[in-house]
Chain A
Amino acid sequence: MKHAILGAAFAVATATAAFAENYVIMAPAAPGGGWDATARTLQEVMVAEGISGNVQVQNVPGAGGTVGLAQFAASTSGDATQLIVGGYVMVGAILTNASPVSLADVTPIARLTGEAVAIAVPTASELQTINDLVEMMKADPGAVSWAGGSAGGVDHITVGLLAKAAGIDPTKINYVAFSGGGEALAAILGNQVTAGISGVGEFLPQVEAGSMRILAVSTDTRWPGTDAPTLMESGYDVNVQNWRMIAAAPGLSDEQKAAVLADIDTLAKSAGWKSALETKNWADTYLAGADFEAQLAKEIEATTAILKDIGLVQ
């Protein structure tokens, strides 16, 4: 019965005439996370902007998206209607899980959104600048406990890169992985750890409420909403962005790939997408086609190196 009700609800939601491709978007994560939200926002905007008549979202959760990626790569070859959402977290997960399927087995289309990673401390902390924190790490890396997201994820990688840039042995960092942004944030607010690292959007409301201080952000330019310096301007050569992307099926012909690129380009430049980004506080870091592929290759190389340095990848 429930399926009938939901089905009916869906029919109402998507009851517009078919224009073009009916896309199926895989969110390789459980409902509720960032990839799921990206997929469902794409669904909404694609239909509203007439890019696609009917879009379905399919959740295949597991292992930093690698379970979904493997299923996608194996089952969609040559089918231009199939899309998958992914992101930087996937790059790390493919490496740490020694996943047999990688981003080379799908057709990356475009980077859509991105967010800076921020390093923060509770307001009561005596650490005032990122340099204070790094000095403390230099004295005793183990004494600085970091709360952040999953092991081998973007937060962990950023701490590793910072340590390396500051001349500290990345294997000595005391990174404590928490299973969701919420749990890590609670540990930071509760003064359980020295510092926290997470998406800047998670920290901003706490900063506004006066319970936290951001010491630095990981992107090459400062992030809107905070006057915290970048790691680069503080003297550490680290530039990380937690981006989300859309990829298409493997084995597409050049025409098929061009058609998908064109649809995504229309989407990324549409008013509906811009207003969706605004309500969700996502930054527009659109980068498509060959430029994106070149950037991706560079990041995979850098990520592999740092994960080896931290010791998570042999």
Chain B
Amino acid sequence: MSTFDFLLQGLGTAMQPMILMYALIGVTLGTAVGVLPGIGPALTVALLLPVTYGLDPAGSLIMFAGIYYGGMYGGSTTSILLNTPGESASIVTALEGNRMAKAGRGGPALATAAVGSFVAGLLATLALAFLAPHIVKLALVFGPREYFALMMLAFVTVAAAFGESTLKGLTSLFIGLGLATIGIDGLTGQARMSFGVPQLLDGIEVTTLAVAMFALGECLFVAAQTHGLHDKVEAIKGSVKMTAADWRRSWPAWLRGSAIGFPIGAMPAGGADIASFLSYGTEKRMSKHPDEFGHGAIEGVAGPEAANNAAAAGTLVPLLTLGLPTTATAAIMLAGFQQFGLQPGPLLFATAPQLVWGLIASLLIANVMLLILNLPLIRFWVMLLRIPRPWLYAGILMFATLGTIGVNPSPVELTMLLIFGFLGYGLRLYGYPIAPVVVGLILGPMAEQQLRRALAIAQGDWTTLVSTPLSASLLAIAALALVVPMLLRLRGKGQVLAQIAGDSD
């Protein structure tokens, strides 16, 4: 049978009413946990695993898949409306999305996120079905030196989120890199900067920092502005639907986001967050309206949201083809497979084709369901912004705290939340951008570990970093992306660029 026949057969399996119901439960739960900051799909799937012992394998795996995709959808909602990213992959969504929401364009922002997630989910799931064996070969070519080069590229793209001043942006980034040195060093197992506090041994949780900096910082900032409370936010201006111009600007971003997200998600050390950073940087560079970035450019929402959903599907490539779980959720889904006596691995497509294709088909169905569930919800979500702000921010504080305790019930974690909340407030007060801090915390340890791994394997020979065509070209692209704008500025063509830099917020 061809891939296509298998897929049709899988759709047949997945279209049974009971299976559809499991999918619906999955996407609803997934959306709900995605909306709550801190509580991710991994925890939800882990909690539900014992419940599914009684279900048949197809039903429960499909429910898990629904939760997984749903979590990626839901994460964008709070990012856009409340400037509170629930997962690390929705951080850059907050940059442009929240600006749009504050300008009364929350509806189109949510819509481009939802449709973009759908388009990316659809394309990536199809790619999973047809290209998985080829993509995984590409992913295995990536060793430590290639990952290091990829991280360098991601670092350069962070500059896109710097805002008005490079100096302030770099300051924020280095705060994040500094925080990233806390915890056990992965390569030697030795504790760094933990000052004898056991909870610091594993470093600072990215979601804790993100929720604190974005949500708490915002709440404190708003509360401190006693005079600014009057109607700065327009809940809805114009339609909650996307305009023709929005569509025109969104669809290329969706496609680019999908193309970036899927392969990066498929890499064992890639991840949805890296994909979303790279997509944001790409959109800012490719946009015909670079001046709008920082003020609510719709491409800045469409691209990263497509990228993180495509990456979520990409994660399933190593899981299904090699049995490699590369995210916590994938690890628990692996446990789910094992519970039914299936060993995901190179032979899974051959030994249990019905289940694999059923899963892929149900991902397609979950994706459609999510769109149907989420589009009508948009008009209700935007009404959140009509809630009087003191109540709204009290609610955000409660959910941020609950989410943090939900993940890690410890007073130390709450203390960190509070401290970083004040840090976020301070940065906001003096006009320092928030996102680079979080990005530094995510990228710092990855770049450091991959660099040290590459050097260990090469026994200290630095030329290893440029010894493969792939790593050399990635580093070259990163260098060009960094240097070319500087050269343009130097050669006097920079007036436009300087103008843009001056305009952006």
A interface with B by C-beta (< 8 Å): 1-2, 5-6, 9-10, 12-13, 30-33, 36-37, 40, 43-44, 59-63, 66-67, 70-71, 93, 96-99, 142-143, 145, 150-153, 156, 174, 176-183, 185-187, 189-190, 192-193, 205-206, 208-209, 211, 279-281, 312
Q: How far is A12 from B340 in the complex, measured between Cα atoms in Å?
A: 21
Q: Is the CB of A280 within 8 A of B53?
A: no
Interface residues on B, range: 35 or more
Number of residue pairs across A and B with beta carbons under 8 Å? Answer: 171
With A183-B268, A190-B141: A152-B322 Cβ-Cβ less than 8 Å: no
Evaluate contact between B328 and A30: CB separation under 8 angstroms.
yes
Q: Which of A6, A59, A186, A312 contacts B44 (CB 8 A)?
A: A6
Whether, in the assembled complex, B298 has its beta carbon less than 8 Å from a beta carbon of chain A, the answer is no
Q: Which residues of A contact B318 (CB under 8 A)?
A: 182, 186
Query: Which B residues, 423 to 469, have Cβ-Cβ distances below 8 Å to chain A?
Result: 449, 453, 456-457, 459
From B33, B46, B326, A31 is in contact (CB under 8 Å) with B46
B199 CB to closest chain A CB (Å) equals 6
Could you tell me if A145 and B36 are in contact, using CB atoms closer than 8 angstroms?
no
Contact of B51 among A10, A142, A156 (CB under 8 A): A10
Would you give the 0/1 interface string for B324-336, flagging 1 where the beta carbon is closer than 8 Å to chain A? 1110110110010
Cβ of B199: which chain A residues have Cβ within 8 Å of it?
A: 62, 67
Tell me the minimal C-beta distance from A77 to chain B in angstroms: 18
Q: In the complex, what's the smallest C-beta–C-beta distance from A193 to chain B, in angstroms?
A: 6
With a cutoff of 8 Å between Cβ atoms, the chain B residues found around residue A180 in the complex are 325-326, 331
B338 touches A5 (CB 8 A): no
Whether B324 contacts A40 by the Cβ 8 Å rule is no
Question: CB-CB < 8 A to B165: which residues of A?
Answer: none
Bound Cα distance A152, B51 (Å)? 36
> B184: which A residues are within 8 A, CB to CB?
63, 97
Asked if A44 meets B143 with Cβ closer than 8 Å, knowing A99-B198, A174-B456, the reply is: no
Interchain CA distance A98-B456 in the complex, whole Å: 25
Of the candidates B187, B346, B408, B459, the one whose C-beta lies within 8 Å of that of A61 is B408
**Contact status of A145 and B141, CB under 8 A, knowing A43-B50, A205-B323:** no
Find residues 179-221 in chain B having any chain A CB closer than 8 Å to their own CB.
Answer: 184-191, 198-199, 201-202
B139 within 8 A of A: yes
Inter-subunit contact A33/B331 (CB<8 Å): yes
Contact of B144 with A312 in the complex, beta carbons under 8 Å: no
Residue of A whose beta carbon sits closest to that of B321: A209
A-B pairs with the 3 shortest C-beta distances? A205-B345, A31-B46, A209-B346
Interface centre among A71, A181, A192 (most CB of B within 10 A): A192
- Which residues of A sit under 8 angstroms from B48, Cβ to Cβ? 6, 9
**Chain A CB within 8 A of B343 CB:** yes
CA–CA, A2 and B38, complex, Å:
13
